[in-house]
Structure 1
Amino acid sequence: MRIVIAEDQVLLREGLAMLFVDGGHEVVATLGDAEELLAAVTSYRPDLVVADIRMPPTFSDEGARAAQAVKRAHPEVGVLLLSQHIESQHVVELVALGGFGYLLKDRVLDVSEFLGAAERVARGGSALDPQVVAGLVARSDPLAPLTDRERDVLELMAEGLTNSGIAKRLYLSERTVEAHVRHVFTKMALPETEDGHRRVLAVLTHLSTAAR
């Protein structure tokens, strides 16, 4: 298996290279950022790319975006993303392409399991961290993070009730209802605005989910 590694942390980058070499694989290139990843893949034609999601210069999603570019240009190349934390942006699209894996970095500590996952991805399979899967499931259902009481509040919001009306219906104080509404907005990741559109967006999301 021929491998290109893109990881800005030198120790982890070299450690990953040693793991693969000790496992009988060939590391054909190691990179400290994602900018040259596509060019390296085009030049070296690896079977697998291992890349960190957060890389220079902004340490946001450079690795994930570079992975997308690689899969578009070379769909046969397996891509294994690594991350310190669960980040679902870009992941759904990549999962659908096949030959893709996403693991939290601490999974590297189980060397045999990590190498097995990498080999599986290189063969066109998938390898998703259980915590990543749980995050994607929650992402696919925007209401999943809500408690039963928060769902009750959202349903009454969908009926057009004000916070005062919801409080009367559920026998709660208006302040408690306001807290539930804030939690609904936060858990549904609705942007804060000055014109009250978050309430409308929450209701629309609830209705679209119910219609599935």
Structure 2
Amino acid sequence: MATPAGRTRRSRAQNARIVLAGLVVGVLGSGTFVWQGTNAAFTDSTSNGASSWSSGTVALSDDDASTALFTAGPVVPGETASRCIAVTYGGSVAAAVRFYATSVSGALGQYLDVVVEQGAGAGNVGSAADCTGFAGTTIWSGSLTSLGTTVHDFATGVGSFAPTGPAQVQVYRITWTVDPASGDALQGTAATATFVWEAQS
């Protein structure tokens, strides 16, 4: 028996509404699933205090008040003199301290015998004003000219002072002697030099 056209149209409309309702329910259901999946019921974490970093320092000073260790002249063959200097480390990291000479010039340098000593043990006393009580070991001996050509930077420097922290002191004694055999060759000559103590970590 034939189905009336009006009933057919109503059936199709009802079916469409059922399908549409099913899609809406499905979308709502999937949204609920996602919300539950991305919002955990319980969470926890742990952390420590804020980390920090700071750099160390290397610092060196001496007790000669930035004055020349020697100002001598006019010198003659055989003349000699000594001065001490106390070098203080003020850095916060371990370092090595070396002695060397720069700006060495002048013909007199070849006639000046230089001895550099580093204080040792209980004898590590003395200052730029007074060498009384100093005792040490020789770390350089030779002419001023050769000092300037062979011991002229940190890499070629001498000495074993190795402070590990601030307020550590090392005393050095420098002695110069004019070659007694220089004779008339010494006349009218001069020499200059800068003594340097450098620390590197």
When the two structures are superposed, what TM-score results if normalisation uses the length of structure 2? 0.20
When the two structures are superposed, what TM-score results if normalisation uses the length of structure 1? 0.20
Tell which structure's C-alpha radius of gyration is larger: 2
